[in-house]
Amino acid sequence: MLNLSRLRILHELNRSGTLAEVARVLNYTPSAISQQLSQLEREAGVVLLEKAGRRVRLTDQALMLVQHTEVILTQLELAEAELSVAQPQIRGTLRVASFQSVVLSLAPVALSVLAEIHPRLEVEITQREVAPAYDGLLAHEFDLIMGEEHPGVPEPVRAGVDRSVFTQDAMLLALPRQGPLSRRPSVLSDLADLPWALDPPNSTARRWADITCREAGFEPRVRFESPDPSLHVHLVRQGHAVAFLPGLMGSVLEGLQLVQLPGNPHRTLFTAVRSGRATHRAVEAFRQALAEVAQAESNLAPPPVIELK
């Protein structure tokens, strides 16, 4: 009989492409991955892998097994979701990945809500940017991930994933209240010569920031580069930079001069799970708590002090 754990390794190899990446995602050594796949070949009685340069390539028989494995894994998750409905209490462990601004502002409050309502549900949270979080989700490393999508920077649609938006969050321009960087601009390009604190290149937030500045007619002079929005806040508050910050950071933004950007752009915050797990009670409970907390936090967000034209 074919071993499901080994089938899952084959499934992940088809998704990620290399034995080294499979080993990283599934927390095995590369040699252990090779041994498991060799054992799967013996169980299947056919050749599953062929060498292609320094890599390996899945044979037609292996690809057929991958398709069946995808169905099996989805059906197992559907079964777990149905069983969760029959349980008197929501219990177990929910593995979550989230990017930093949500970890800072929303996740701790949502955890408190869940602990009170569903004390037997344990939530584990790992910080990941959206793209690596998706990789972990599809590799079954996480049960649920939180992501963001900025205007003009659409997030790719992934097959086999159920995505649910839980709030829209205003993106604001943040300036110091005092000092040489505290000037009140009439247009965004008035700040072209100032130092900026932005996310690293190729991140969703950075791509949106670059597009926004270029549409205003300038390239931002990035002096500070970090994925940590709390660092951006401190740099602005101390008068070292200006930055784009999400409104849902709430009280953390106090003491900053906040400016509404032209068109009042909002980022979309969402959760994503594998389709077979979407109706699991633990997933539904987490999504509901997160939406309620986001709504409450948006009501507390400090309003912009001025508006750009």
pLDDT per position as a tens digit, 95-151: 999 988 888 888 889 999 999 999 999 999 999 888 889 988 988 889 999 999 999
- Mark whether 128 and 247 lie in a shared domain: yes
- Mark whether 75 and 108 lie in a shared domain: no
- Mark whether 32 and 112 lie in a shared domain: no
**Quick check: 30 pLDDT over 90?**
no
Q: How many CA atoms does the CB half-sphere of 212 hold within 13 Å?
A: 26
Q: Which of 47, 62, 82 is the last residue of a domain?
A: 82
- Mark whether 39 and 145 lie in a shared domain: no
Least confident of 14-23, 230-239, 258-267: 14-23
- Percent with pLDDT over 70 in the chain: 97
pLDDT per position as a tens digit, 158-215: 888 999 999 999 999 999 999 999 888 889 999 999 999 999 998 899 999 999 999 9
Task: State the average pLDDT for the chain.
Answer: 89
Residue 270 φ then ψ, to 5°: -145, 160
- Distance from C-alpha of 150 to C-alpha of 155, rounded to nearest angstrom: 8
* Partners of 168 in the β-ladder: 268
- Distance from C-alpha of 158 to C-alpha of 68, rounded to nearest angstrom: 19
Helix (H) or strand (E) holding 72: helix 60-86
- The total of other beta-carbon atoms located within 10 Å of residue 116's CB is 9
Residue 203 φ then ψ, to 5°: -80, 155
- Mark whether 29 and 139 lie in a shared domain: no
Q: Residue 300's pLDDT is what?
A: 67
> How many angstroms separate the Cα of 247 from the Cα of each of 84, 168, 174, 240?
36, 10, 10, 20
CB-CB contact of 204 with 155 (8 Å) = yes
- Mark whether 240 and 275 lie in a shared domain: yes
- Mark whether 73 and 114 lie in a shared domain: no
Q: Residue 104's pLDDT is what?
A: 80
Give residue 309's pLDDT band: very low, low, confident or very high (50, 70, 90). Answer: low
CATH number at residue 34: 1.10.10.10
Number of domain units in the chain: 2
- Paired sense of beta strands 144-149 and 266-274, if any: antiparallel
pLDDT per position as a tens digit, 48-79: 888 877 788 888 888 998 889 888 888 888 88
More confident of the two residues 69 and 237:
237
Q: Residue 84's pLDDT is what?
A: 82
Tokens of 219: 């390239």
- Mark whether 106 and 35 lie in a shared domain: no
- Mark whether 222 and 173 lie in a shared domain: yes
Q: Residue 303's pLDDT is what?
A: 65
Q: Residue 302's pLDDT is what?
A: 63
- Mark whether 64 and 101 lie in a shared domain: no
Give residue 222's pLDDT band: very low, low, confident or very high (50, 70, 90). Answer: very high
More confident of the two residues 279 and 299:
279
**Over the range 154-189, which residues count as b (16 or more CB within 10 Å of their CB) and which as e?**
ebeeeeeebbeebbebbbbbbbbeeeebeeebeebe
- Mark whether 99 and 77 lie in a shared domain: no
Residue 218 φ then ψ, to 5°: -150, 160
- Distance from C-alpha of 133 to C-alpha of 227, rounded to nearest angstrom: 15
**Quick check: 81 pLDDT over 90?**
no
More confident of the two residues 83 and 128:
128
Helix (H) or strand (E) holding 288: helix 281-300
- Distance from C-alpha of 71 to C-alpha of 155, rounded to nearest angstrom: 25
- Mark whether 93 and 77 lie in a shared domain: no
Q: Which of 82, 102, 132 is the last residue of a domain?
A: 82
- Distance from C-alpha of 246 to C-alpha of 32, rounded to nearest angstrom: 44
Q: Which of 82, 104, 130 is the last residue of a domain?
A: 82
**Strand intervals (E) in 200-240:** 221-225
Give me the amino acid identity at 74. T
CB-CB contact of 37 with 10 (8 Å) = yes
- Distance from C-alpha of 80 to C-alpha of 305, rounded to nearest angstrom: 49
SS3 14: helix
**Quick check: 232 pLDDT over 90?**
yes
Of 84, 149, 81, 150, the residue nearest 118 (C-alpha):
84
Q: Residue 301's pLDDT is what?
A: 61
CB-CB contact of 265 with 196 (8 Å) = no
Q: Residue 58's pLDDT is what?
A: 87
Query: For residue 47, what are the domain limits?
Result: 4-82
CATH number at residue 223: 3.40.190.290
